[in-house]
Structure 1
Amino acid sequence: MDFYLKEGGMRVNFPYDELDISGNEDYGFRPFQLMVASVAGCSASVFRKILDKKRIDIDDLKISADVERNADEANKIEAIHLHFSVKGAHLDREKLEKSMAIAKKNCSMIRSIEDSVKITETLEIINLSEI
């Protein structure tokens, strides 16, 4: 990847689009937002692949991320909490929780930062068969 100087930050070009990065949200994504998005996106992607392999059908997946930062240490990310909301019919909590645990072990972004950032996860099931 090549990063180029632009007003207020940096830009990187990809075959599908470009990405602006800046410490100021007026000029692009803030670096910590990209870190959290990488963790959530990787986790979601791996989780979905596991569900597909296990033939667990879901209708929707949403991940909310809460971030704890330390202002005394350059706003270092101390913790990321991922809350998975899974919607579908006849969902089994135990199978979903096992799939989340496998996803966490196989998400390259989580594995890259797990020794310096506390990663926690919770699961909410919206079971359409009970609505």
Structure 2
Amino acid sequence: MTNTVKTTWKGNMKFESTNPSGLNLNIDTGAEHGGNGEGYRPKALMLSALAGCSGLDVVSLLKKMRAEVDDFNIDITAELTEEHPKFYKEVHVVYNFYGTDLKKDKIEKAVNLSIDRYCGVMEMFRQFAEITTEINYFEK
């Protein structure tokens, strides 16, 4: 399977990028780098892709396992290298689950399947960064 995007310069530091979904997104820098802050920052967008990829896996697996949660979010903190080209060297992914009577064994299994088997973006990150993960439960 091949994915194709087209990214077009829109002036100054802004670009518009297509997506196979048909939805476009804007990429820009902040004023400190000459942009207008009218779009996603490229490196932060990579972290969103990581969270989205793993999150989709987890939600799909929890549904199949009949392990309902009231809410779920993923927080990612990443450290860049000091030297150019700067890239993420350490990435910490935190999975937060909220609900009543959470099925922790199934949640842990779903998260681990995403991390170890299904999330292609996670595997891409492993090629250049040390990845750590944790799971937090918030029961009502």
Give the shorter-chain TM-score range.
0.7 to 0.9
Equivalent AA in structure 2 for residue 6 of structure 1? K
Could you say which residue in structure 2 is the equivalent of 1:80? 91
Confirm or deny: 8 A CA contact 2:71 2:97 kept in the other structure.
yes
Equivalent residue, structure 1, for 2:63: 52
Q: Which residue of 2 aligns with 1:120?
A: 132
CA distance in 2, matches of 1:43, 1:23: 26
Equivalent-residue separation in structure 1 for 2:90 and 2:66 (angstroms):
32
Residues 14 and 29, structure 2, Cα contact 8 Å, conserved in 1:
yes
Structure 2 portions without partners, runs of 5+: none
Q: What 5-or-longer segments of structure 1 have no aligned partner?
A: none
* 1:13 and 2:25 are equivalent in the alignment: no
Instruction: Select the residue among 66, 69, 76 that pairs with 1:65.
Output: 76
How big is each residue's C-alpha offset from its partner over 1:30-73, in whole Å with a ceiling of 9 and x where there is no partner? Answer: 11011000001111110111111100000000111101111213
Q: Give the percent of matched residue pairs that are identical in Structure 1 and Structure 2.
A: 22
Aligned amino acid, residue 10 of structure 2: K
For 1:79-118, what aligned pairs fall within 5 Å after superposition? 79-104=90-115, 105-118=117-130
Q: What amino acid does structure 1 have at the position aligned with 2:46?
A: M
What TM-score, normalized to structure 1? 0.87
Please report how far the alpha carbon of residue 16 of structure 1 lies from its aligned counterpart in structure 2 after TM superposition.
Answer: 5.0
Q: Which runs of 4+ in 1 moved over 4 A?
A: none
Report which stretch shifted further, 78-87 or 37-46. 78-87
CA distance in 1 between counterparts of 2:124 and 2:85 reads 20
Superposed CA RMSD: 1.7
Structure with more of its chain in strand, by fraction: 1
Q: Which residue of 1 aligns with 2:7?
A: 3
Q: Output one character per residue of 1:55-110: Cα deviation in whole Å (capped at 9) or x when no partner.
A: 00000001111011112132211122111110111113332222211011211111
TM-score between both structures, scaled by the size of structure 2: 0.82
- Residue-pair matches, total: 128
Letter in 2 for 1:95: K
Aligned partner letter, 1:67 = A
Counterparts of 2:8 and 2:73 in 1: how far apart (Å)?
33
